[in-house]
Amino acid sequence: MLLGKLGTEDDAYHAVRDGFFAAVAKTPRIDTTRLGVWGHSFGGGMTPYLVQQERAPDLSVLKTAVPEQLDSVLDSNQAGELQSMMENVVTKGTGTEAQIPGVKVGGKTGTADNGPVNANGEYVNAPHAWFTGFALDPTHPIAIAVVLENAGVTGSESAGGTAAAPLARMVMQAYLADTRGR
């Protein structure tokens, strides 16, 4: 069962109450990238890392990150369904701002409430906005997570779609432009 893979009972409760992807916002931020990895790699993928190489002042390589295979949490059918759903979010849903011409992009937007609540039951702080997803370049695919704290969007708007998805698109485009030039 997919919900059993999320972590705590609290995560599972929020997944049922708010929909599966709402639970992702409760996990550590780097783990939201794993959703993008799962969405394009048949439920497995590689452990994300922030720095590929560490270099000395003379540019000699001090340390290189070694990719590690993640355990599969989805079977190939589930991963295919997840990928399709994430692609639909970008092609015709709340993540259209993440589209990159000529590249298959998938993702999931999110707006996370940011307590505390005032006497009127309204959140005092602006919500957080997030987008997690992937770009399926044939030779250099990328998975990404963008979290913008206090994004400033309120009401029924999708802060993830209006604030975080465009930033994710820009980062993915820069990555693809850099890797294609090599």
Q: What does the pLDDT look like over 53-89, one tens digit per residue?
A: 888 999 999 998 887 776 666 777 887 888 899 999 9
**Domain presence at residue 64:** no
Residue-wise burial string across 75-109, b where 16 or more C-beta atoms lie within 10 A, e elsewhere: eeeebeebbeebbebbeebbbbbbebeebbbbbbb
Q: Could you report the per-residue pLDDT of 32-48, keeping only the tens digit for each?
A: 445 555 444 544 566 66
CB contact set of 14 (below 8 Å; sequence gap of 6+): 22, 23, 26
Look up residue 75 and give its DSSP letter: -
pTM of the model: 0.65
**Which structural domain range is residue 148 located in?**
2-47+74-180
- Report how many domains make up the chain: 1
**Domain presence at residue 132:** yes
Q: What is the pLDDT of residue 19?
A: 37
Beta carbons within 10 angstroms of residue 60's beta carbon: 7
Q: Residues 128, 148: contact at Cβ < 8 Å?
A: yes
**Domain presence at residue 60:** no
In 3D space, the residue among 101, 102, 123, 103 whose CA is nearest the CA of residue 114 turns out to be 123
**Domain presence at residue 66:** no
**Domain presence at residue 131:** yes
Confidence at 171, pLDDT banded by 50, 70, 90: very high
Q: Could you report the per-residue pLDDT of 123-168, keeping only the tens digit for each?
A: 888 888 889 999 988 888 888 888 888 886 655 556 789 889 999 9
Q: What is the pLDDT of residue 71?
A: 66
The domain spanning residue 143 has which CATH number? Answer: 3.30.450
**Domain presence at residue 59:** no
**Domain presence at residue 53:** no
**Domain presence at residue 153:** yes
